[in-house]
Amino acid sequence: MLGLSGREKIVLAIAVLIMAGVLLPLPSDSMWWREAMNSGHVLLFMLVAWLLFYALRRRMPDSSRWKLYGLLLFVGLLFGLIIEFLQIFVHRDASWADWLKDLAGLLAGIASLEWYLGWKQSTWWRKLVIAGLFVGVLALSLKPFVILSLHYVQRGMAFPVLMDFEAGWSSSFVDYVRAKKLSVKSGILTVRLEKGQYPGVSLTEVEPDWSGYRSLVLELESSQDSDISLVVRVDDQLHNQRFEDRYNHRFVVHPGKNRLVVSLSQVEHAPEGRLMNMKRINEVKIFALFLDESVELGIGKIYLQKQSGASGCITGVIKGKC
C-alpha cells in the first residue's frame, strides 16, 4: 500500500481513525466531547508528522533531518487549514485554536522523531531536553481536556449538589450572559448583572437525572438595598427553545440571605403538552428579565433535595426552611 512499511501502515491507520473522529459529527454535543475532539487534533498531527517525515525522506533521501522537519511543518499546517475548512461542511466550527493544536501536535511529533532518530548520536542531556519538550507540548495541549474530565468526575461525585463554588469543578459548568464574575468568597459567587435584557448565569450540562428528588434549592444573597426580581428557568434535553416548553418562575430576592425552593413536580409539569423528562435535565438559568441599572448578586450552593417545597418559596436562611 503506497510502498509503506508495516510500521507506517499502522501509523496511517491510526491517523485515519483519529481524523474521522475529528471530522465526523459528535456522538453528543457536550463540552466533554468537544474538548475530546479538540485534543484529538494534537494526537492526529503528531502522527501526521511521522507520516510526512518518512514520505519526504523517501523522496528527498539526501536532505538533512532539520530540512525535512521544516517541510513537514509547512505541509502539516497547510493540511490543518484544509481540515478546518472541511469541518464547515459537517456542521462543525472552524477554529484557529484547533489549528494551534495542530501546530502543537506537529511540534510534539518532531520532538519524538528527533528523540528516536538521533538516539545513538545524542548525549543524555540532549535526550532529556527533547523528551522534556515532547512531554511539555503534550501536557500543555491536553491540559484543558484532562482538567475538564476531572471536573466531570468531581461533579458526579458531588451530586445531588449541582453547584458548589467552594469546589474548583464548578467553574467549568457556569456561563455568564451579560454578567461578570466579581469574586468567589466563602462559597459565594458574586456576579454583577449588567443593565439591559436577560442578564444572568447559566448552569450548563447539569447532572441530568433528577427523578429521585422533589425540590431544587438555590441559596442566594443580595447586597442591594431593594428587592431584585429574577427568573429561574429549567429545561431538559428535549427542549425546543419555546417559552411554553420549559419551566420558568419569577421570584423576588430580598436584601440579605435568601433560600429558594423550587418544586420539581411543577418543573415536571411545566412544558405545554408533555412532561419534562426528569432523567434528562439539561440546564438551569438564573436571570433578570430587564434591569435599569446593574446589580450584584451572590450565588451559593445549588442542590437537589428529597423533601418537597412549594415552588417559589423563599425565606431568609437564618430564619429556617420553607
**Cell match 466550527: residue?**
93
Cis status, amide bond into 61, omega within 30 of 0: no
Whether residue 233 has pLDDT greater than 80: yes
Mean pLDDT of 62-71: 86
173 within a domain of the structure (yes/no): yes
- What CATH number should be reported for the domain holding residue 217? 2.60.120.430
Collapsed DSSP state (helix, strand, coil) of residue 20: helix
Confidence of residue 21 (pLDDT cuts 50, 70, 90): low
Which of 214, 217, 212, 202 lies closest to 161 in space, CA to CA?
217
Mean pLDDT of 131-140: 82
Q: What single DSSP character describes residue 146?
A: H
pLDDT in tens, 108-118: 888 888 888 77
Residues in CB range of 107: below 8 A, 6 or more apart: 73, 133, 137
pLDDT in tens, 271-304: 999 999 999 999 999 999 999 999 999 999 999 9
pLDDT: which is higher, 98 or 165 = 165
CB distance 72 to 52 below 8 Å = yes
Residue 300, domain extent? 162-315
pLDDT in tens, 245-277: 999 999 899 999 999 999 999 999 999 999 999
Q: The C-alpha cell of 299 is what?
A: 450565588
320 within a domain of the structure (yes/no): no
322 within a domain of the structure (yes/no): no
Question: CA-CA distance, 174 to 285, in Å (whole number)?
Answer: 10
**Domain identity same for 194 and 127:** no
Pure H helices in 162-269? 264-268
How many structural domains comprise the chain?
A: 2
Q: The C-alpha cell of 202 is what?
A: 447559566
Which of 151, 199, 204, 207 lies closest to 296 in space, CA to CA?
199
Average pLDDT, the chain: 83
**Domain identity same for 87 and 100:** yes
Residues in CB range of 39: below 8 A, 6 or more apart: 101, 141, 142, 144, 145
